[in-house]
A and B are shown apart, each in its own frame.
Chain A
């Protein structure tokens, strides 16, 4: 039996008490929500917190509130299953519901939360391995080692941002609410991330992500596409999130954000800009898809070859935009490779 390392478990009932628990235990403590990312990592000894502060009992962090007109507040403790089938989210933010519904497996979506998904650890073939495996190969700098095994000359870790929801939150222009000892702040979703495989979050470890704040739906159309080997269980090795607002037939605003191509989600700004002021014609879509492949620079540290993942960026951006435009989509509409 693969067991968790020993810890003390603290179960606060309010955000305030959770903040206090983090303050009391300092660097010894970690937050846990669904545990579907943290517990496997702890079993592999990638984290060994002495104290776990469990957010499961914090009722104020659960649930979806709001309206299409004013936007929605999604409590960070809301499960991915609940989000994926929430009628308002399915209707007004289909990209978000799709992404939540494509995470891992049904059981994991019943346990995993939206907050945990936004904060999910970065991944790498040399990191997501048992302790014995990592020891045998000599460890890497993300945990217990000195160098990067993917890019040995590199001063930094290139582990891959693997959240399905993060690129969607970014593309929608969503915000996150963070609560820490110094109070509360609201930042754009994109400001939550850093381009570093180890310090991949810009928030402080003692800050709790309490909610994801969606802007008013306002005619926004969105889609998400995910590349992975199997149609279930697997993390994305490429995620494409697209959000578009139209003025009649003309694109008023477009945001294309790529997941799993770097240590943080990456916005394809040129591709987005190329769409603004144009109609969503097949030609405009192909041009944007071509431009989106530029910032997609996957490394050779996940499933599939990195040139293939880069190539699929163009294909998936085109399919996502065609879907939004109501054009026929060739090939698989979403997710896995058959």
Chain B
């Protein structure tokens, strides 16, 4: 039997009719057409499916939509606004912090959450925050560089 749910995704209210055992990852990709959220291990072991719930990074492959009604869900599709890339996306593109790009949506969202809590994190704090996002390509250095660059630019703008 399907259940009707109201989810708030990227500040839009979306109604879905889904089986209760579908994870948020499945609902985002299959019912809402938001394929920016990637599926990797589907077991909590890689972080590529990361989305933000009320601003905090969680794994959509292990989250039940039924638990998330009334909460603010953010996916990578919501990061750019008004034809403008988010500073993190801009920095990732400039510095080559995305190679195959599969881990990138999850990394971007996790970094966004970090910067909203700590606008100018240390390198160590960035590493800590991204410790739940595996990347098979970059060796992480460029990811850390790009988060640093974005944080500096955003701090500049805020000033």
* A residues in contact (CB < 8 Å) with B: 1-9, 11, 34-36, 39-40, 43-44, 54, 56-57, 81, 104-108, 110-111, 231-233
Contact = CB atoms under 8 A, between A and B. Distances in A.
B63 A35 contact: yes
A229 to B, nearest CB: 13
Contacts of B3: 9
Given A1-B42, A36-B44, A11 B21 contact: no
Contacts of A1: 25-26, 39, 42
A4 B44 CA distance: 13
Interface stretch (B52-60, B90-98, B146-154): B52-60
B129 interface: yes
Interface string B123-142: 00000110110100000000
B132 A40 contact: no
A39 B62 contact: yes
A43 B21 contact: no
Contacts of A7: 20-21
B43 A107 contact: no
A38 B58 CA distance: 16
A44 B62 CA distance: 13
B104 interface: no
A5 B39 CA distance: 18
The 4 residue pairs across chains A and B that have the minimum distance between CB atoms: A105-B132, A232-B131, A2-B42, A4-B21
A57 B56 CA distance: 18
B19 interface: yes
Contact of B64 (A40, A44, A54, A233): A54
Nearest to B131: A232
B156 interface: no
Interface residues of B, number: 31
B44 A106 contact: no
Interface string B48-85: 00100000111100111011000000000000000000
B23 interface: yes
Contacts of B128: 106
Given A54-B67, A106-B129, A107-B57, 6 more contacts: A1-B25, A1-B26, A2-B43, A4-B21, A6-B19, A36-B59
A231 B127 CA distance: 11
A43 B26 CA distance: 13
Q: Looking at A7, A8, A35, A39, which has the most chain B CB atoms within 10 Å of its CB?
A: A39
B87 interface: no
B105 interface: no
A54 B65 CA distance: 12
Contacts of B25: 1
A101 B59 CA distance: 17
A35 B44 CA distance: 10
Interface in B21-57: 21-23, 25-26, 39, 42-45, 47, 50, 56-57
A1 B23 CA distance: 11
B112 interface: no
B21 A110 contact: no
Nearest to A5: B21
A110 B64 contact: no
Contacts of B58: 107, 110-111
Contact of A233 (B42, B67, B132): B132
Contact of A9 (B56, B59, B66): B66
30 contacts: A1-B42, A2-B43, A5-B21, A6-B21, A7-B21, A8-B20, A9-B20, A9-B21, A11-B67, A35-B62, A35-B64, A43-B42, A54-B66, A57-B67, A104-B44, A106-B110, A106-B129, A106-B132, A107-B50, A107-B58, A107-B59, A108-B44, A108-B132, A111-B58, A111-B59, A111-B62, A111-B63, A232-B131, A232-B132, A233-B45
B139 to A, nearest CB: 15
A6 B18 CA distance: 12
A106 B42 contact: no
A105 B47 contact: yes
Given A4-B21, A6-B19, A40-B43, A107 B64 contact: no
